[in-house]
Amino acid sequence: MPIVQVALDLPLNRLFDYEAPTATPEDVGRRVLVPFGQDEKVGVILAVNTGSDHPSEQIKPVKTLWRDVPALSQSDLGFLRFCSAYYHHPLGSVVLNALPPGLRRISGWSPPKRLAKVVVPEAVPFPSLTPDQSLAAETIRAHTSGFRPFLLKGITGSGKTEVYLNAIQHRVQQGLQVLVLTPEINLTPQFELRFRQRLPAVPLVSLHSNLGEKERVARWLKAQSGEASVILGTRLAVLCPIPRLGLIVVDEEHDASYKQQEGLRYSARDLAIVRAQMLEIPIILGSATPALESWWNSQSGRYQLLKLSQRAQPGAQLPRIQLVPSPPRHTTQSVAKPVLQALQHRLERAEQSLVFINRRGYAPVLLCSQCGWVSECSRCSARMVVHLRAHQLRCHHCGEQRAIPRHCPECGNSRLESTGDGTQKIEAVLREQFPAARILRVDSDTLSRRDAWVDTAAAIQSGDVDIIVGTQIMVKGHDFPKITLVAALNVDGSLFSSDFRGSERLFSQLVQVAGRAGRADRPGEVMIQTAFPEHPLFNALYEHDYEGFAARELEQRRLAGFPPFVHQAILRAAAENASHVESFMAEAVQLAKPLAEGVEIYDPVPAPMARLAGKTRLQLLAQCTHRGRLQAFLTAWQTHLFAIARSRVSWVLDVDPLEL
């Protein structure tokens, strides 16, 4: 009787045997429905054997073996095995999560009656490339076989997308498939449109989580069958089966949203590189401000650097950057006078402005000036944010909501103040200043509705808006040619962040923000409101000098012993009861010490958000200059961690963490 070895989505490092009378080796990679305890679960067959190490009376038969969709290939499974081993996440959980949700249903899968219609826009011919673009495109085309990572570093507006399109066309003509990753769901329609304009005959599917379940499976199957030549998607697309994959493009490769921050904590950019390496194909990483890890790889010769140093459109200039002193602390003014004046000028000339502020809501805190009470979340070590529209205090970490109190809960004072600025407050300030202006706020609150972004982008494109008040959602690669002024408020917090990646993030954010200004024929202006105009970060920004900035940051990281000069992993644990998580961590340290040859083990410390959603959180850092040694340590350590695991403590290993 054939016995199948099945991967199940469980927090356990093992596979499960079942009887499957009809199974053949062809069924490896297929879905099965199996009994599990009182339940049924969907699993994936990883091996078909003739026997089992378990006593036969313990082995139950599979309920259904589905052959309705193609099996995952050996190559797909090999890649998923790597993900599981590298991120120290159970294989079953990795394999099941690589399937779209529609294929994980115990009720099975039935195809949709109708697929979403594809609107094919009018074709737009390829522009003649700039010299920089030609050189980059030719270099990529000239590389005909084998693994090669290209780092395409191009200033905003330099036309990186045209270089991608050129390389994609070349690969598709050879009968190969191409995977294109973007960091943000909202960026996929824009890329899709440009792609269809250039290459209307090439079949493309986009894959992201904002799709109906059936639609998503149908698109996934088109990638897996090879029917789709181009697969465009957010980070989850990196796990999609693509049998004739011949090129990978990672746009905005520095973007932190490539890292999944829960469950399987993978970096889609890093996995894309591994996948390219396994398949021996080229990969293009594109950015105006590469991650320092990637930049370092290009400096040390591991990645081939391709530069675009000019804006692509004739006459388009980089914006002028100006630092504006923040209004003095003791005033309640949020927007400095020169910024207001510049906004006024844009209104007079019927041009658009973007006011960038990276905090949604009205104001960060509600405060009692009599007794010092502040609006803290009861379940997190965080302050609740005032949302005036909804008359609520909201915790941005756990989602807790409360009505705004009328009186101070401590002393009864009825004059509570809100301090600090959020998008809603800036919106209110600007409405008062410019009553006739059409002001649009863009943040995750206004974009919570599905498709909200489409309407928002259309309103901005058509010029129905004068001033946009937006968070970083507005910052990423969108093309809004009517914006000629960008003002960034409230950036100082990130200058002195305790996270060693704080200044890297701020720099790239400000470069991206600045890139929104004056992309077309109109020159752009950028104003940054700060109390620290002397800070070297601003100087580099002012000079449009990413390379100088990167060199200084890397030198500091080398001296301080931070990535990319060391490799890190963090054990994160949480429990309702503080003593449970403390004793788990104490044991984890004891277990780590004898295994830690050459690996530095730090003491457990509270997470930056020490309490979240009612749970106490601790973390423990392990680091090593040698990646392989860290990996070997993690493998050994993890086995012990499973042995001491207890039900009340949840824990996870975060390999190459982006947040300490």
Name the residues that contact ligand ADP, by CB under 6 A.
127, 129-130, 133, 154, 156-162, 312-313, 477, 479
Q: Which residue number, 411 or 560, has a Cβ lying nearer to Zn ion?
A: 411
197 binds, among Zn ion, ligand ADP, none (CB under 5 to 8 A by kind): none
Minimum separation from the CB atom of position 481 to ligand ADP (A): 7
- DSSP type of residue 266: -
Q: Which residue number, 268 or 382, has a Cβ lying nearer to Zn ion?
A: 382
Minimum separation from the CB atom of position 255 to Zn ion (A): 26
161 binds, among Zn ion, ligand ADP, none (CB under 5 to 8 A by kind): ligand ADP
Long-range pairs of 60-63 with CB within 8 A, sequence gap ≥ 24: 60/18, 60/19, 60/34, 60/35, 61/18, 61/19, 61/20, 61/21, 62/4, 62/6, 62/18, 62/19, 62/20, 62/23, 62/32, 62/33, 62/34, 63/32, 63/33, 63/34, 63/35
Give the integer Cα–Cα distance in Å for 545 and 524: 18
Q: Which residue number, 130 or 169, has a Cβ lying nearer to ligand ADP?
A: 130
Closest C-alpha among 424, 419, 416, 473 to residue 444: 473
158 binds, among Zn ion, ligand ADP, none (CB under 5 to 8 A by kind): ligand ADP
What is the per-residue DSSP string for 407-458? S-TTT--S-EEEES--HHHHHHHHHHH-TTS-EEEESTTTT-STTHHHHHHH
Q: Which residue number, 269 or 397, has a Cβ lying nearer to Zn ion?
A: 397
Residue with tokens 């016995």: 3
Closest C-alpha among 340, 346, 287 to residue 515: 287
Q: Which residue number, 314 or 435, has a Cβ lying nearer to ligand ADP?
A: 314
What is the per-residue DSSP string for 90-110? -HHHHHHHHS-GGGS-TT---
Strand 320-325 vs strand 525-530: parallel, antiparallel, or unpaired?
Answer: parallel
380 binds, among Zn ion, ligand ADP, none (CB under 5 to 8 A by kind): Zn ion
What is the per-residue DSSP string for 568-594? EEEEEEEESSHHHHHHHHHHHHHHHHH
Minimum separation from the CB atom of position 375 to Zn ion (A): 11
384 φψ region: left (φ > 0), alpha (ψ -120 to 50), beta (else)? beta
Minimum separation from the CB atom of position 393 to Zn ion (A): 10
- DSSP type of residue 515: H
Q: Which residue number, 371 or 560, has a Cβ lying nearer to Zn ion?
A: 371
156 binds, among ligand ADP, Zn ion, none (CB under 5 to 8 A by kind): ligand ADP
Alpha-carbon distance values, 79 to 43, 89, 253, 262, 279 (Å): 18, 13, 20, 20, 10
Closest C-alpha among 429, 460, 430 to residue 442: 460
479 binds, among Zn ion, ligand ADP, none (CB under 5 to 8 A by kind): ligand ADP
Minimum separation from the CB atom of position 526 to ligand ADP (A): 15
Minimum separation from the CB atom of position 529 to ligand ADP (A): 25
Residues 260, 261, 264, 267, CA torsion sign:
positive
Q: Which residue number, 313 or 322, has a Cβ lying nearer to ligand ADP?
A: 313
Minimum separation from the CB atom of position 394 to Zn ion (A): 9
Q: Which residue number, 14 or 402, has a Cβ lying nearer to Zn ion?
A: 402
Other beta carbons within 10 angstroms of residue 565's beta carbon come to 14
149 binds, among ligand ADP, Zn ion, none (CB under 5 to 8 A by kind): none
Q: Which residue number, 75 or 139, has a Cβ lying nearer to ligand ADP?
A: 139
Contact predicate 248/256, CB 8 Å: no
Q: Which two tokens stand for residue 492?
A: 């100082």
Q: Which residue number, 307 or 438, has a Cβ lying nearer to ligand ADP?
A: 307
157 binds, among ligand ADP, Zn ion, none (CB under 5 to 8 A by kind): ligand ADP
Give the integer Cα–Cα distance in Å for 244 and 614: 47
Residues 6+ apart with CB under 8 A from 441: 423, 424, 427, 468, 469, 470
Minimum separation from the CB atom of position 243 to ligand ADP (A): 29
Residue nearest ligand ADP, CB atom distance: 159
Residue 448 one-letter amino acid: S
3-state secondary structure of 168: helix
Q: Which residue number, 283 or 439, has a Cβ lying nearer to ligand ADP?
A: 283
Minimum separation from the CB atom of position 354 to ligand ADP (A): 16
Give the integer Cα–Cα distance in Å for 99 and 264: 13
441 binds, among ligand ADP, Zn ion, none (CB under 5 to 8 A by kind): none
Q: Identify the bridge partners of residue 401 per DSSP, sorted by sequence position.
A: 394
Minimum separation from the CB atom of position 606 to Zn ion (A): 16
Q: Which residue number, 111 or 127, has a Cβ lying nearer to ligand ADP?
A: 127
Minimum separation from the CB atom of position 154 to ligand ADP (A): 5
413 binds, among Zn ion, ligand ADP, none (CB under 5 to 8 A by kind): Zn ion
162 binds, among ligand ADP, Zn ion, none (CB under 5 to 8 A by kind): ligand ADP
Minimum separation from the CB atom of position 157 to ligand ADP (A): 4
Other beta carbons within 10 angstroms of residue 252's beta carbon come to 24
Residues that bind Zn ion (CB under 5 A): 368, 370-371, 373, 377, 379-380, 395, 397-398, 400, 408, 410-411, 413
184 binds, among Zn ion, ligand ADP, none (CB under 5 to 8 A by kind): none
